[in-house]
Amino acid sequence: KQEVTQIPAALSVPEGENLVLNCSFTDSAIYNLQWFRQDPGKGLTSLLLIQSSQREQTSGRLNASLDKSSGRSTLYIAASQPGDSATYLCAVFQGAQKLVFGQGTRLTINP
Amino acid sequence: NAGVMQNPRHLVRRRGQEARLRCSPMKGHSHVYWYRQLPEEGLKFMVYLQKENIIDESGMPKERFSAEFPKEGPSILRIQQVVRGDSAAYFCASSPTGASGEQYFGPGTRLTVT
C-alpha cells in the first residue's frame, strides 16, 4: 500500500528566503507525481507534474525534483513571497489513475 | 476554458437525508475523479469514472455512496441517508487522459451533516 509523507507539517519563514518542502513515498513503482497548493477553504491548484521518467520540472520560482529510487521528491520555492502562504500537497499516481496524497506542509511566509 | 465546476459549494443536510454533489469537468476532459477530505485528514481517492462507466471505485464506501457520469450532463456523487461522519469536503478532478495525466481540481463541495 502506497503511503506518502510530507515533512515538515508546518513551516514559517521570512519573506525572501528560499525553501524546500519534502515528500517521500513508500512504493517507488510510481507513475507520475504532482504537487499542488491549497488555500484555506479552497480547492487545489496544480503546480507541477513530474513524469516518472523525469528528474525535475520547473515553473517560474518553483522547481520540483523526483528521485524514484529513494522514494523522494522535493519542491523548491525561490525568493518566497507572502502570497506563497498555503498548504502544499504532494501526490503520487497509483495504478496510473488515482492520486495518493500526503498530509501536506502548511507554509507561512512572514512579511 | 472554464475550470472544473462543482455545485453546490456548500451543502447542509440533516441525518438521514440524501446529498447530491455535481461536477462538470473541464471542456474536453472525459475522465473524472472524486476525492474526499475529512476534517484534519488528507485527501482520499473515492472513484474514477469515464463517460457512462465506473472504472475504479475502490475508495468508495460500500454502502450509501454511488457515483455516475452520464453521457450528457455532469458527474454526480450521491450519498444516501447521510450521517455526521460524512461531513467533509468533496473534490472533483478531471483529466484529458486517464494515463497518469495531470488532474485539475474543482473548488469542492463542503458537506455538513447536522
Q: B51-83 pLDDT, tens per residue? A: 989 999 999 999 999 999 999 999 999 999 999
Cell of B112: 455538513
Chain B closest CA to A91's CA: distance in Å?
10
Q: Considering only CA atoms, which of A4, A106, A22 is closest in space to residue B44?
A: A4
- What is the C-alpha to C-alpha distance for residues B24 and B29, in angstroms, rounded to an integer? 10
Widest CA span in chain B: 39
Q: Please, what's the b/e burial string for A83-109 (b: 16 or more CB within 10 A of its CB; e: otherwise)?
A: ebbbbbbbbbbbeebbbbbbbbbbbeb
Q: What is the pLDDT of residue A62?
A: 97
Query: Which whole number is the average pLDDT over B30-38?
Result: 94
DSSP A2: -
Least confident of B23-32, B93-102, B103-112: B93-102
Cell of A85: 502562504
Q: What is the mean pLDDT of each run of 10 residues along chain A (111 residues)?
A: 93 96 91 92 91 92 94 96 97 86 96 92
Q: What is the pLDDT of residue A100?
A: 94
Q: What is the pLDDT of residue A28?
A: 83
Interface contacts (A, B; CB < 8 Å) = 62
For testing contact with chain A, the best of B24, B103, B104, B111 (most A CBs within 10 A): B103
Task: Report strand pairing: A105-110 vs A10-14.
Answer: parallel
CB contact under 8 A, A46 and B102: yes
Which of B99, B100, B108 has the CB atom closest to A43's CB atom? B108
Residues B16, B64: contact at Cβ < 8 Å?
A: no
- Residues in chain A closer than 8 A to B91 (CB atoms): 43-44
Model confidence at B100, pLDDT cuts 50, 70, 90, reads low
CB contact under 8 A, A99 and B45: yes
pLDDT at residue B39 greater than cutoff 90? no
Question: Across all residues in chain A, what is the average pLDDT?
Answer: 93
- Nearest-5° angle of CA B23, CA B28, CA B34? 30
pLDDT at residue B37 greater than cutoff 90? yes
* Phi, psi (deg, nearest 5) at residue A94: -110, 125
